[in-house]
Amino acid sequence: MNTKIVSSIKINLIIFLVSTLMVSAGNLFAADDVVHWWVGDAESKALKVIVDEFENSGGKWVDTPHNDSEAAHASVKSRVIGGNPPAAVLMVVGASTQEWSEGGLLNDINSIAIRENWDSLLPDGVAKASKQDGKYVAAPVFLSTVNWRYTNKEVLKSSGVDEPMSWGAFMTSLPRIKQAGFIPLAVGGQDWQETLLFDHVALGVAGPQYFSELLDGNKKTIDSDDTTRVFAGMRALEPYTDLGKAGRGWGDTNNLVITGKAAFFFMGDWAKGGFLQAQKKPGVDFSCQISPGSRMVLTAVDGFAFPKSSSSSERANQSSLASAMMNRDVQTKAALIKGALPARKDASTEGFDHCSQNALALLSGGSAALHWNVRESGFKGVLKEVVSQFWNSDMSPDQARKALVDGLNQL
């Protein structure tokens, strides 16, 4: 049976089981823990800002970290079904939170949102992504820009290469960097990292209009020669990566650039925190630029959702958590540490470095699109599966295009 059909069946089964459990058991009594995957150094320190705010207001934070989002979410779904949901879970706010809410997996937090007037505090798009049927089901914390290219400036200097500002110049720089004895392009070995690489290639090879239409699921665009060219462009990068990439996490991959072993790394704004923690200066030791040759900013909203519980005390605890996460000063301080932007539009951005100011300027003056990680789960699942299969096999660009088209047609 097709894996996407199997996945759909599993999702529907989870929803059915949760609904049945709620009818038969009546009450779900939650634990007090918060499930997340912010385990990197900068991420952990940013999270500590939220923890401190919550505990200073009288709460008790119980930490349940996971190494990746999929493991975290699988755990939470099992716990909801088993009648022991956590108090909160980190999520990319948007399609995922809305799907979980539709499936009966989340409590809404609309009472605290109304009391604190979140509608006036959040950009319209962020507020809309945080709601389901007009009610808030997530507390948005950060606005992330996803498609950055990080560059070690000393590696470029040692290689005799100027920082490339177009896709063509970027491709020309890679063999020169390799000849100088460095890893030209650091790439991790997880499907989502490989698909972030696909983002940059698509923007560089086929352009923002193409990629915007692909993200919107335009079938004519997806089944076009541009898609074949994008996969071919991705394959052309492989000789400039290192053999240690298989299975490697993003933090270790980021560290290759931080420590001067590699020149470039494509990753979201959360990677910047690693440079800052290593006392590297933006614009001096490293730079961050949007996908070469593109002014399109791919965005995602990070926040927390609140798994279903019938306990009145737990719902009150969830409201307190949401209030701490939405605190203006907390969002500013945590965003500075993590390298993201605050979700609240009234949060101060004073002191933000040139990377964050770059993002703000591009968001106000360039084109922007919601990243695939914010999109419907079926779409992003097919995209990640096909890209990862292509990258880790001898599949041809034409075969990858067909696999992408076929997978999306079966949703």
pLDDT, residue 366, reads 61
pLDDT, residue 398, reads 98
pLDDT digits (tens, 9 = 90+) for 321-361: 999 999 999 999 999 998 888 999 898 888 888 788 878 77
Q: Is the pLDDT of residue 16 over 60?
A: no
pLDDT, residue 31, reads 62
Domain definitions of the chain by residue range: 3-143+300-351, 148-298+372-409
pLDDT digits (tens, 9 = 90+) for 283-328: 999 999 989 888 888 989 999 999 999 889 999 999 999 999 999 9
Strands 138-145 and 183-186: unpaired
What average pLDDT does the structure give for the chain? Answer: 90
pLDDT, residue 2, reads 43
pLDDT, residue 409, reads 95
Q: Is the pLDDT of residue 180 over 50?
A: yes
Q: Is the pLDDT of residue 20 over 60?
A: no
3-state secondary structure the chain: CCHHHHHHHHHHHHHHHHHHHHHHHCCCCCCCEEEECCCCHHHHHHHHHHHHHHHHCCCCCEEEECCCHHHHHHHHHHHHHCCCCCCEEEEEECHHHHHHHHCCCECCCHHHHHHCCHHHHCCHHHHHHCEECCEECEEEEEEEECCEEEEEHHHHHHHCCCCCCCHHHHHHHHHHHHHCCCEEEECCCCHHHHHHHHHHHHHHHCCHHHHHHHHCCCHHHHCCHHHHHHHHHHHCCHHHCCHHHCCCCHHHHHHHHHCCCEEEEEECHHHHHHHHHCCCCECCCEEEEECCCCCEEEEEEEEEECECCCCHHHHHHHHHHHHHHCCHHHHHHHHHHHCCEECCCCCCCCCCCHHHHHHHHHHHHCEEEECHHHCCHHHHHHHHHHHHHHHCCCCCHHHHHHHHHHHHHCC
Phi, psi of 369, rounded to the nearest 5 degrees: -145, 150
pLDDT, residue 74, reads 95
Name the more confident of 53 and 336.
53
pLDDT, residue 357, reads 82
CATH topology for the 148-298+372-409 domain: D-Maltodextrin-Binding Protein; domain 2 (3.40.190)
- List the one residue out of 170, 116, 105, 165 whose CA is nearest residue 139: 116
pLDDT digits (tens, 9 = 90+) for 221-265: 999 999 999 999 999 999 999 999 999 999 999 999 999 999 999
pLDDT digits (tens, 9 = 90+) for 113-160: 999 999 999 988 899 999 999 999 999 999 988 999 999 999 999 999
Question: For the residues 81-95, what does the mean pLDDT come to?
Answer: 94
pLDDT, residue 365, reads 66
CATH code for the part of the protein at 3-143+300-351: 3.40.190.10
pLDDT digits (tens, 9 = 90+) for 358-383: 787 777 666 778 899 888 889 999 99
pLDDT, residue 207, reads 94
**3-143+300-351 and 148-298+372-409: same fold?**
yes
pLDDT, residue 210, reads 96
pLDDT, residue 295, reads 81
